[in-house]
Every structure is written in C-alpha cells, then in structure tokens.
Amino acid sequence: MTSLNLQRLDRQDIDRIDSHSEPGLADDTSNRPRSLQFITSDRVGAVLAATGRTEDVRFSPDNGRLVVAGYGLQHLLILRIRLQQGPLGPVVLADDFMRLTSSGISSVHGLDFIDEQTLAVANRDGFVSIIRIPEGEPGGRILSVDPLSEIAGSLLCRMNSPGSIAVRRIRGGKVSLLVCNNYIHRVTQHIIDPAKGYRVKRNTVLVERSLDIPDGIAVSQDGQWIAVSNHSTQEVLLFDARWPLSRFSRPAGILTGTCYPHGLRFTPDDRHLLVADAGAPVVVAYEKGLSWAGTRGPLSTTTVLDDDTFRRGHANPQEGGPKGIDIDRKGTIVAVTCEEQALAFYALDFIINGQAPGKSQLPAR
C-alpha cells in the first residue's frame, strides 16, 4: 500500500469509473486496512503527496468538496470529490483541487464550514479566521485570499492556541464558534453575525473544568451534546448542552479506551461517536445507548493505518496515528487524515460494525 493508498488515473479513466473500476476495497492482506478505493487525477495525487503534516478534514455541506488542514505548509487544500458506486462498494473520486493561503491561515489545526463557501479556521499559533472560498472551478489554482474576519476573543476571554473548532447555527442567523484553546485548557464560545461582516457579538468561556489539552471538538446533530478530546487524560469528555454550561461545568460522560484522542465526529443519527487516536493506528467507535452520560469503553476499534505507515510517524507515544476525521453528509463514508497518510476513506458501517461495504451502501446523489 502506498502512503496515500490511492490510484492515479487520467480524467478519461475517472469518467469511465462505472464500467472500469476495480473492487471498492483494498486487498485484504496482512496489516492492510480495508480502505475504500480512492481514485485521483495525477495533479491531485501529486499535491496530496506533498501535503505534509495535516490535522483536520471536513466535507462541504453539499458533499462535493473535501478540505484538508495543511498544518505544515500553512494552507487549505480543497479537493473536488465525487462519491460513486463501484462493482463492490463505494468509490471516492478526486479530479481537481485548489490551494488557499492567507494571512489568516498559518498553523491551521482545525476547520469547519459556516456555509457552502465560508470556513472557520483555527490556527494554533494565532487566532480564528473566517475564510471565503473563491468562486468557480478549482482548476488547480493556488490562491491567496484575505480573511473576512479574524477573531481573537476579548480581554476576559482571550483566545490562546486555538486548535479544533466546531460551528453551531443559532437563532437570528448568528453562528456560534466553539474553539478548543489547547494550552490554556478551555473551550471558548464566540457568537458571530455573518450579516455584519462576521463581527463578534459575544465571547465566553464555555467549559474549562477537567480539561487538560482539549485537542478535538464535535457537537451532536441535535445540539444536545458537546464532545471534547482530552489529550492528557486520554479520554473524551461529553458535556450535556441541554443545560447552561460554564467554566465550572462537570462532564456528564467520559469515553475511555484511546491512547491520545484527537479528531472526533458524531454520526448523522447521533447514535455513535468516532474518535481518531493520534497515539495508535486506529479509529475508535462508541455507542450512545439511552444517553451519553456515564463512563463507557469502545464499541469497536478499527485499524486505519498499516504497520509501516504508523511506525514512520510514531516518533513518540502521542504521534503516528490518525488526526482528522469526518463523516460525509449522507452518513456513509469516513475520511481520515494524518501526516504519513494524507487521505484515506472507509465505509462507516465497517468502522462501527466491521461490515464491508456493499453495493447498496452508497445512496444515489
């Protein structure tokens, strides 16, 4: 398996994927994760191979693009993708890209979509920036854009080492940004108004108690639970957002069984939570049950990096495993990124239940 686990074809080959695709799963040989077939054009394959250290990944709301946080090269890599059905399962196609640089993009550690064209970007060495994706086809363009807004917090709620970020839409058209401030051990909330140039309306400390290097954040689809990867305690903490939260709020739930939890995502039905383990070559799945309250261990653990790939990045116990993780908007495909394997895809059912994808898994677009 190559470090990217992808097949490079020209555009004509990509257009003929329906009749000429290979099986949708990688060969199930020793130490090889059962990833989905990922087909790129030559240009996309080359830019992925040169991406370097990555930290996060996010599907666009329409499922037509995938954005990778290029921490090492201080850019956003935007891929045009298609999810398509192959003879034995889903196939992911990427035939075009755009690279964005900006004064508002530095050591980018986390990102999330505000809308189809607008991203909130968390830079660990700076602040949170609001970035607009240029209109038009990607076209292999390398562009520099000015941030629409930069958010630093306030005197009593200053942002420091922002890492991961989650966007929540709230009443009145406003947007809530939940930001992990890695090295001051708190999650802050910043209410912004897109209609007024993304001006900040309010800055507050959302949660702080029990946090020790919060390294990832996700909000359930129903908005009732906030999950935070707590790096130093090797746990994921769950806060019940049905009640007012403050810096003194205790976590209502604790997930154990990871080495160093990083990126995390709730499934579209909120029944499961997936966690990328930066200290192991795995993604760990948890099941909600009646509630996320209480302490629980993993439902399943799935290897997503082969032994050689993991060893190359495992310079210390906290590194080498997957960093960013996302689930496509239809709830069928899981994207995973890290420095040694810039992008790979897995069937959600396989991550949760160990089931190989079948022909009926990918809904028609």
The CATH number for 87's domain is 2.130.10.10
Report pLDDT for 34: 84
Cβ-Cβ contacts under 8 Å for 252 (sequence gap 6 or more): 238, 239, 240, 292, 293, 294
Residue 22 has pLDDT above 80, yes or no: no
Question: Is 30 part of a structural domain of the chain?
Answer: no
The residue with greater pLDDT, 84 or 361, is 84
**% of residues, the chain, pLDDT over 70:** 88
Q: Which residue reads 């889903």 in tokens?
A: 90
Its pTM stands at 0.90
Q: What is the Cα 11 distance to its own chain's centre?
A: 27
Contact 17, 94 (CB under 8 A): no
Confirm whether 362 is domain-assigned.
no
Which amino acid, one-letter code, is at 66?
L
Lowest mean pLDDT among 19-33, 150-164, 191-205: 19-33
3-state DSSP percent of the chain in helix, strand and coil, to 5: 10, 45, 45
Q: What average pLDDT score do residues 63-89 get?
A: 94
Q: What tokens appear for 72 in the block?
A: 């090492």
Which of the residue ranges 24-33, 116-125, 272-281, 284-293 would you say has the lowest mean pLDDT? 24-33
User: What was the pLDDT predicted at 207?
Assistant: 98
Average pLDDT over residues 59-66: 97
- The yes-or-no verdict on residue 89 having pLDDT over 90 is no
For position 355, what pLDDT does the model report? 55
In a domain, 320, yes or no: yes
In a domain, 219, yes or no: yes
In a domain, 2, yes or no: no
pLDDT for residue 111: 98
User: Would 167 be classed as within a structural domain?
Assistant: yes
Please give the mean pLDDT across all residues of the chain: 90
Give the pLDDT score at 64. Answer: 97
Q: How many domains does the chain have?
A: 1
In a domain, 212, yes or no: yes
Share of the chain above pLDDT 90, in %: 84
Measured CA to CA, the distance from residue 93 to residue 96 in angstroms comes to 10
- The residue range of the domain holding 286 is 7-17+35-353
In a domain, 361, yes or no: no
